Amino acid sequence: MEEMLEILVKQLKVELAKKYQPREYNKNRNTKGIPKTIGQYPKNNTKRLSDSIGYEIREIDGEEMGLIVMEDYYEFVDRGRNPGGNGKPGSKVFRDAIDTWVRQKIGTFPGLSFETTSFLVRRSVWMKGIGGINFINNAIDNIIDEMVDKGEDEFAEQFEEFVDEKLLVLSRSSRDITYNQ
């Protein structure tokens, strides 16, 4: 189990380091002569999420389970965020997260201040949502595909069984919850 968890943690970090085309503002997206790869960014901008990924082996309800634990916001990176929500678009956590992201990725829109740019991005995420990158399932699929390609079909089956029956993915603040996602 430990070997499978180590492989999965490593692949999760690889997935976060991949470059993804943003679904948001990209001033160069339609500029003639600028390659389409301009504006593609890895999702581990600060490396905080990637650095937080770890694993534990824990007995839960008399059964040994593997836990992948990472920062609380992994769910939004993985699955995205629907429009609206319980919080307010001006809440401090939401605002700080978007401000940091805007500062690192966009800067300012032409002719606008940073505060206005950040407000517009927050409002857009609040109103339209934002897509996730499905990095957890991508990592699992890539591990299984790689094992099959290497002729390690039996290990691939064991890994798939482990993922289906013995793996929990939890945020750091909910690591004591004992349910299978």
Condensed to tens digits (0 to 9), the pLDDT of residues 38-71 reads 455 556 566 778 899 999 998 888 889 999 999 8
Higher pLDDT, 72 or 145: 145
Give 178's pLDDT tier (boundaries 50, 70, 90).
Answer: very low
**How far apart, in Å, are the Cα atoms of 83 and each of 44, 77, 88, 127?**
23, 15, 11, 5
Indicate the average pLDDT of the chain. Answer: 79
The residue ranges of every structural domain in the chain are 2-82+134-174, 84-128
> Residue 21 pLDDT > 70, yes or no?
no
Mean pLDDT, rounded, for 103-109:
81
The candidate with the shortest Cα–Cα distance to 104, out of 88, 121, 91, 127, is: 121
pLDDT of residue 4: 94
**Is residue 147 a contact partner of residue 156, using CB atoms and an 8 Å limit?**
yes
